[in-house]
Amino acid sequence: MIERLLPASVAAVEAIGPAAADPAAEAGLFPEERAVITRAVDKRRREFATVRACARQAMEKLGVAPRPILPGERGAPGWPEGLRGSMTHCAGYCAAALVRGTELASLGIDAEPHDRLPEGVQSAIALPAEEERLAALAAGHPGVHWDRLLFSAKESVYKAWFPLTAKWLDFAEADIVLTPVDHAFGTLSATLLVPGPVVDGREVTRFEGHWTVADGLLATAITVPRTA
């Protein structure tokens, strides 16, 4: 599912269904990683291990030897030098996407269950203009939970933003437009409402990406190209 949203230069690996929470994945953790989840509940341990197994398979696709992936500031994964990447997991799904830094400046992926957001969440994350667009999308394309898709897009934007800035990005600091191409696939555009990151000497003021809906899940991806 996630590969459809990313350019060919990105190595993406996903685990779906029972494979997304495989207890056997813990055996593949490095000692440093295992120490991070010593006190975690079983669900957290399984997802932590499985998404890292996906990431190491993606490393192998890029010819990079497997190594620990430890959470850093604000939980952002620490990637090997020269790589850019992102991970996501939700019930029944884990995925990791990696790319060489010469190909992309950053990327962010997110997956969510294809369901409505809990009561009150939409108003907490959406700008007034975004809420107007969500209402129009829901009227024209009722088969998609647009509120949850917006949430996922904001998560992907943040995951692409943070490695470039090491700063927090609030939900209200990016204005996202979701555009359907068909009933299950489309594009997304995020206009940054704060000063953007500088990539190759140029300020980036907008992020672009794609979204999809399939098999009870939805996913979004943002890629930030090199500007030089």
Mean pLDDT in the chain?
94
Task: Indicate the pLDDT class of residue 24, thresholds 50, 70 and 90.
Answer: confident
Percent of the chain whose pLDDT exceeds 70: 100
The predicted model gives 53-68 an average pLDDT of 95
Task: Indicate the pLDDT class of residue 228, thresholds 50, 70 and 90.
Answer: low
Q: What is the pLDDT of residues 109-157, one digit of tens each?
A: 999 999 999 999 999 999 999 999 999 999 999 999 999 999 999 999 9
215 — alpha (psi -120 to 50), left (phi > 0) or beta?
A: left
CATH 3.90.470.20 domain residues, the chain: 2-103
Q: How far apart are CA 43 and CA 22, in angstroms?
A: 10
Q: Which CATH architecture has domain 2-103?
A: Alpha-Beta Complex (3.90)
In this predicted structure, which of 41-50, 156-165, 189-198, 217-226 has the lowest mean pLDDT?
41-50
